[in-house]
């Protein structure tokens, strides 16, 4: 057995406010050895990130406080220290050099006023005592190691000038710059394309094998853990409910919560009538005991499988109709360079000669990597982007020739749910008023009294409470905020909704609930969807057909989801399928 790097015993981390105490981490114990990857999984609020921040000595005090336990860390020289007993200066000497962390959101973790190179050289100069020139050479070597394109150029660039996947690689380069014994990765691949995610995971695995470091990998995606980790720790409401070797837990989960998490991810081999969710598998009794709701999990999941004959029958009904939306040779270009007279001399072809139809009641998926033009296509349809060329017909009417009044009516009927619910909501406006606001603009209902009643009905429709009307966005979880955005969209009484990466950053269990909700709303309100995602497993579950787009803004393949998954026609489509984590 390799030597232990980190040994956490009976850890309790509390947050105190207004004389109330919440145990975010309660009696947690596990260890990490050299050359070992341990994955922590669980929903938001399960205590994953708080556990990692406790290990790094980064719990803010107040309101946070570690009230029990020990965190034993063995340094490079063999000395074992208790993180909880170290002074701030001693902790600073360990962080970055002995243990480092890749935080969840690279855009907020990187300093926007410093270049990427400066942010990596800072740690090298501080901990490795390198000169500026030596640190620059080392940083560029690290950028090459994490497979960043044009490392010398990115060294001089600022975070906003590079893509999300590239920012994540800069964070990894920074984290491994001083060859730490322990690397903590907190959701490092959340919301990344499956292909970029696979590259990042392969990169971390190769670095770990080369350096023999231990890795604590935090995620809500069990597929990622299945491919990467040696051991798994499952957390629920601040406690460890199950831990062990990945193979053992995946093949024979013991706790109802673990069983629920494993079942929530959309399967690739079959279609479900609805996705299983964690509440389907467990309930909490009044005394706090968690009990299983399913005597036979496999039989329950099997009962959800949708027979192929029903799918074929539904598709025949769909495609016997006339299209509700027709996209013909759509081109949306962005100006890349202008001359001194302001005339554009070169373009980025974000969407290049794209054509497809959408039928009433259909869910059509748009899938591809970041930069392939999925979101631009969605925004172009509702005229949020200037179109270079092409035609768009909605119910036989030319959208590009609509006058202001016609366009306003069109935008009421064709709505969009944006990717980030937090940035889509005004933090200064209660969610009730946020939902009412577009109703006032479009003069839906007679007055605010009727509108408020309608908003409360919509909150109930998306499984929120009437008393949430007066709450602000920051008082909700990510899944709840996404439900607020769905309610605001429904307030317009639309017939066609474009869902732009609307579940990409949600926990797998919350994601399942939102996907089920969208399907229920589709049936109840007779909706048609364009569903934009980089996750092929989600697209395959939600959609009837999919449009695969490549990095040049062009269509690679169009067809029924099941058929494309079984028989991809291009190498690009095959690469998307191959990149999906297999549970």
Model confidence pLDDT, tens digit, residues 420-475:
777 788 889 999 999 999 999 998 998 999 999 999 999 998 888 999 999 998 88
323-578 sits in which CATH class?
Answer: alpha beta
Domain boundaries, the chain: 271-312, 323-578
Beta-strand relationship, 214-219 and 37-41: parallel
**Residue 583: strand, helix, or coil:** coil
What is the C-alpha separation between 39 and 225, in angstroms, rounded? 6
For helices 431-441 and 478-490, what crossing angle results, to 10°? 20
Q: What's residue 583's pLDDT?
A: 64
pLDDT digits (tens, 9 = 90+) for 274-292: 999 888 999 888 888 888 8
What pLDDT shows up at residue 509? 82
Half-sphere exposure in the Cβ direction for 325 (13 Å, CA) = 27
Give exposure, 330-350, as e/b (b: 16+ Cβ within 10 Å): bbbbeeeeeeeeeeeeeeebb
Sequence length of the chain is 583
Longest dimension (CA), the chain: 74
Q: What is the per-residue pLDDT for 1?
A: 52
Angle formed by the axes of helices 571-578 and 194-211, to 10°?
60
DSSP single-letter state for residue 306: P
Task: Please state, in angstroms and rounded to a whole number, the distance separating the CA atoms of residues 276 and 261.
Answer: 9
CA distances 98 to 175, 543, 547, 548, Å, are 10, 47, 46, 44
Collect the ranges in the chain with pLDDT lower than 50. Answer: none
Q: Exposed, middle or buried by CB within 10 Å (0-12, 13-18, 19+), for 86?
A: middle
State the Cα–Cα distance between residues 81 and 456, nearest whole angstrom.
55
Q: Rounded to whole angstroms, how far apart are CA atoms 219 and 561?
A: 27
pLDDT, residue 27, reads 93
Sign of torsion over alpha carbons 443, 446, 452, 458: negative
Burial of 287 (0-12, 13-18, 19+ CB in 10 A): exposed
């Amino acid at each position: 057995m390799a030597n232990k790097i980190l040994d956490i015993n009976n850890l309790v981390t509390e947050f105190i406010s207004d004389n109330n105490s919440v145990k975010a981490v309660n009696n947690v114990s596990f260890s990490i050895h050299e050359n070992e990857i341990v994955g922590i999984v669980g929903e938001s609020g399960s205590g994953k990130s708080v556990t990692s921040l406790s290990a790094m000595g980064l719990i803010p005090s107040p309101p946070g406080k570690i009230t029990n336990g020990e965190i034993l860390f063995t340094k490079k020289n063999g000395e074992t220290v208790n993180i909880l007993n170290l002074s701030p200066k001693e902790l600073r000497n360990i962080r970055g050099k002995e243990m480092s962390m890749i935080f969840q959101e690279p855009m907020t973790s990187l300093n926007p006023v410093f270049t990427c190179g400066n942010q990596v050289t800072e740690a090298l100069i501080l901990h490795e005592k390198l000169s500026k020139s030596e640190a620059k050479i080392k940083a560029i070597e690290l950028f090459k190691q994490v497979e960043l394109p044009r490392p010398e150029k990115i060294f001089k660039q600022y975070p906003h000038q590079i893509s999300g996947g590239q920012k994540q690689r800069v964070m990894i380069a920074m984290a491994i710059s001083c060859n730490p014994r322990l690397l903590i990765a907190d959701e490092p691949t959340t919301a990344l394309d499956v292909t970029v995610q696979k590259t990042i995971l392969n990169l971390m695995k190769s670095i770990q094998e080369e350096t023999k470091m231990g890795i604590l990998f935090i995620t809500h995606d069990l597929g990622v853990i299945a491919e990467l980790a040696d051991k798994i720790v499952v957390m629920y409401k601040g406690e460890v409910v199950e831990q062990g070797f990945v193979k053992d837990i995946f093949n024979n989960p013991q706790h109802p919560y673990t069983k629920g998490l494993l079942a929530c991810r959309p399967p690739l081999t079959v279609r479900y009538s609805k996705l299983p969710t964690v509440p389907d598998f467990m309930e909490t009794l009044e005394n706090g005991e968690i009990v299983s709701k399913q005597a036979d999990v496999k039989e329950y999941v099997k009962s959800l499988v949708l027979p192929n004959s029903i799918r074929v029958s539904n598709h025949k009904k769909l495609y016997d109709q006339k299209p509700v939306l027709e996209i013909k040779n759509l081109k949306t270009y962005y100006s890349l360079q202008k001359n001194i007279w302001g005339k554009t001399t070169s373009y980025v072809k974000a969407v290049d000669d794209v054509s497809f139809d959408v039928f009433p009641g259909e869910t059509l998926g748009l899938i591809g990597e970041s930069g392939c033009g999925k979101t631009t296509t969605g925004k172009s349809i509702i005229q949020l982007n200037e179109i270079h060329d092409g035609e768009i017909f909605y119910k036989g009417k030319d959208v590009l020739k609509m006058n202001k009044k016609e366009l306003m009516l069109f935008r009421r009927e064709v709505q969009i749910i944006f990717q980030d619910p937090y940035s889509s909501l005004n933090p200064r406006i209660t969610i009730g008023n946020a939902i009412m606001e577009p109703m006032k603009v479009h003069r839906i209902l007679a007055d605010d009294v009727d509108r408020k009643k309608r908003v409360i009905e919509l909150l109930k429709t998306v499984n929120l409470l009437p008393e949430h009307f007066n709450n602000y966005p920051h008082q909700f979880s990510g899944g709840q905020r996404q439900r607020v955005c769905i309610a605001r969209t429904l307030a317009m009484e639309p017939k066609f909704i474009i869902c732009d990466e609307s579940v990409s950053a949600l926990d797998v269990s919350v994601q399942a609930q939102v996907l089920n909700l969208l399907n229920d709303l589709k049936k109840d309100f007779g909706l048609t969807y364009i569903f934009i995602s980089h996750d092929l497993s989600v697209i395959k579950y939600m959609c009837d057909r999919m449009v695969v787009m490549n990095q040049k803004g062009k269509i690679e393949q169009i067809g029924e989801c099941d058929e494309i998954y079984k028989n991809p026609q291009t190498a690009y489509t095959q690469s998307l399928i191959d990149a999906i984590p297999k549970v």
